[in-house]
Amino acid sequence: MMGSSKKSKPENMGEAWMNILRYIKRYRYVFVIAVILSAIGSMLSLVGPYYLSDMTDAIEDGIHGNMDLDLIWGLAVTLLTIYAFSGIIQFVDNYLMATVSQRSAQMFRRDVSRKMDRIPVSYFDRSSKGDVMSRVTNDIDTLGTSMNQCIGSIVTALTTLFGSFIMMTFMNIHLTLLCICIAIVGFVVIKVVAKHTQRYFRSQQKNLGAMNGLVEEQYSGHMIVSSFGGQEDALKRFETINDELSVTSFRSQFLGSISTHLNGLISNVGYVLVCVTGAMMYIRGDISFGIIVAFMIYVKLFTGSFTQISSAVVSMQSVAAAAERVFVFLDYDEMSVRESTVEPATVTGRVEFKDVRFGYDEGKEIIHGFSAVVEPGQKVAIVGPTGAGKTTMMNLLMRFYDVDSGDITIDGISINDIDRSDIRSMFGMVLQDTWMLEGTLRENLVFNREGITDDDLDKVCYEVGLHHYITSLPDGYDTMMDDEDSLSVGQKQQITIARARIGKPSMIILDEATSSVDTLTEMEVQKAMDRMMEGRTSFVIAHRLSTILDADMILVMDHGDIVETGTHTELMERNGFYRNLFNSQFETTSEN
């Protein structure tokens, strides 16, 4: 199911359902059994009116002569047996169909979750978090719920339609032709309505994703929105999306429900016509009274199956619209995977950038022929003005993005020949942005690593200045917390640093790791980071140049190019770009 196209054209309902059925082939046997049971249950229900016709004729004969109670009781027992057996089959069918639909939804969620680990970071850069969440929750939930309803309904309706047609033809051809004319009208109604509703269901799911994206954006950035007085603009955006969602939801639901009511009207009209026509034929002696009773039931079932098909088609359109959004995500280009040729634990840390060129968008290159060699154990600082490409280089090194041309090697091996998970296990990374897992403090610090003891945690937390805070917690390391807990930004960053320290990585990346802590805490954290970087190749991205004076090598970047290279002393003596950048910080400080 994983394709390669980044953009998929909208699927029609048939294509969407073919994709769904191919996707859930693991449960095809259960699905086929459920369909067969549904058909059998419907056919058994159709046999009932035939015996009911005989019972009605027997009762009519008894009214005008002798009542054959044995025959009537025998027919009654037969009817009860048929309907009881039909009910049991339909119960099993519903259980199996619910199993298939919910297991399929579970499989969709699992595959979407796995896809998130294989999809390029660029996808998430271009998509809102809320829209991605909507695909995982709302769209897949729609798939699971509506698929169960519409598949069972469509099978039952089609079986009832053809089964009742056969039974009616067997009983009386003239009344059957009348029912067919009524059914044709119902079919035309379904076709016309279905043609107009699909686009509204597609727009409804798209607008729902946009709504979730806006709500998530406003919620996560509530303080920023409030601080800059952006509530009015946010409300206008909300009203625009809400109005569009309201219109598309109204039209899809209205057209979907009106088709059901129109078919109900057609069914009732057909019921009346059969009664009148049947009464006239009975008076002429062309049919028995029992056939009229049976046809009154069959015409309800026959025309009612169209109403059921109409409702199923509406559900199928909802499923198709949701499936389209899910499959677009699942079909997105995946990051290439290659078997690693290096063991992360044996890495010495020699990194070389060879004429690296890269741009986030095609035709807009932001890294122009970057070349540098970093020897094992060196502390390398990357400095430059905002937008120079410092963080981009680290993203390329971690293979969050792949280079457009050139190469990056670790210990002489191209990172393209190393599995992404292995590359990332080589590095301990501390970013400007902090992130907290909803769980205990221990889970946040250890984060998927095994064999970490309390003594290990105590040592690291003491080094980064967290030990005093942890002793104040009611349950210590087992205290529950999440990103919204009353932690300062500095404390969150200390936890992030401790998390990287515990992993004992081969190389370190620090992207403004102390930008959110106070001066005293920065000194403590800096000492901890110095100890962490001992003997390890480390990359430090810094705007405060006073923190990288002891770097073995400073790479000065500007507009994607390395403009200067050297130690702090060497660069200051050159009286070039770095010196101006370094002095500008102190000029700004003195002016303040």
pLDDT of residue 173: 85
* Alpha carbon 440 to chain centroid, angstroms: 26
Cβ-Cβ contacts under 8 Å for 446 (sequence gap 6 or more)? 452, 457, 502
pLDDT of residue 107: 84
- Pairwise CA distance, residues 387 & 199, whole Å: 42
Q: Please answer whether residues 291 and 172 qualify as being in contact, where contact means their C-beta atoms are separated by less than 8 angstroms.
A: yes
Alpha carbons within 13 A on the beta-carbon side of 256: 19
- Pairwise CA distance, residues 491 & 465, whole Å: 9
Angle at which helix 289-330 crosses helix 69-118, to 10 degrees, equals 10
- Pairwise CA distance, residues 140 & 327, whole Å: 11
| SS3 (DSSP) at 353 | strand
With tokens 């191919």, the residue in question is: 22
- Pairwise CA distance, residues 502 & 477, whole Å: 14
Give residue 111's identity as a one-letter amino acid code. D
pLDDT of residue 516: 61
Q: What is the pLDDT along the chain (592 residues), one digit of tens a residue?
A: 333 334 444 456 667 777 777 777 777 788 788 888 888 887 887 777 777 777 777 776 666 667 777 777 887 888 888 888 888 888 888 888 888 888 888 888 888 888 877 777 777 777 777 677 777 777 888 877 777 777 777 788 888 888 888 888 888 888 888 878 877 776 777 677 766 676 777 777 777 777 777 776 766 666 666 666 666 777 787 888 888 888 877 877 777 677 667 767 777 777 788 778 888 887 888 888 778 778 777 777 777 777 677 677 777 777 877 888 888 888 877 776 666 666 766 788 889 989 888 888 777 888 888 888 888 888 898 888 877 778 888 888 888 888 889 999 988 888 888 888 788 888 888 877 777 777 788 888 887 777 788 888 888 888 777 888 888 888 888 888 765 556 777 777 788 888 887 867 888 888 876 666 667 666 766 776 777 777 788 888 877 777 788 888 988 888 778 888 888 888 888 888 888 888 876 554 444 4
pLDDT of residue 345: 67
What CATH number does domain 13-330 carry, 1.10.150.80, 1.20.1560.10, 3.40.50.150, 3.40.190.10?
1.20.1560.10
Quote the Cα angle for 222-498-539, to 5°: 90
Return left, alpha or beta for 262; rule: phi > 0 is left, psi -120 to 50 is alpha, else beta. Answer: alpha
Kindly state the greatest CA–CA separation across the chain. 125
Note the helical H segments in 135-288. Answer: 140-171, 173-220, 222-227, 231-284
With tokens 């519903």, the residue in question is: 94
- Pairwise CA distance, residues 338 & 418, whole Å: 6
- Pairwise CA distance, residues 323 & 321, whole Å: 6
- Pairwise CA distance, residues 414 & 399, whole Å: 11
Backbone φ and ψ of 487, nearest 5°: -105, 140
Q: Where in the chain is the domain with CATH 1.20.1560.10?
A: 13-330
- What CATH number is given for 344-591 in this structure? 3.40.50.300
Per DSSP, the residues of 533-571 read HTTSEEEEE-SSGGGGTT-SEEEEEETTEEEEEE-HHHH
pLDDT of residue 592: 45
Q: Please answer whether residues 349 and 507 qualify as being in contact, where contact means their C-beta atoms are separated by less than 8 angstroms.
A: yes
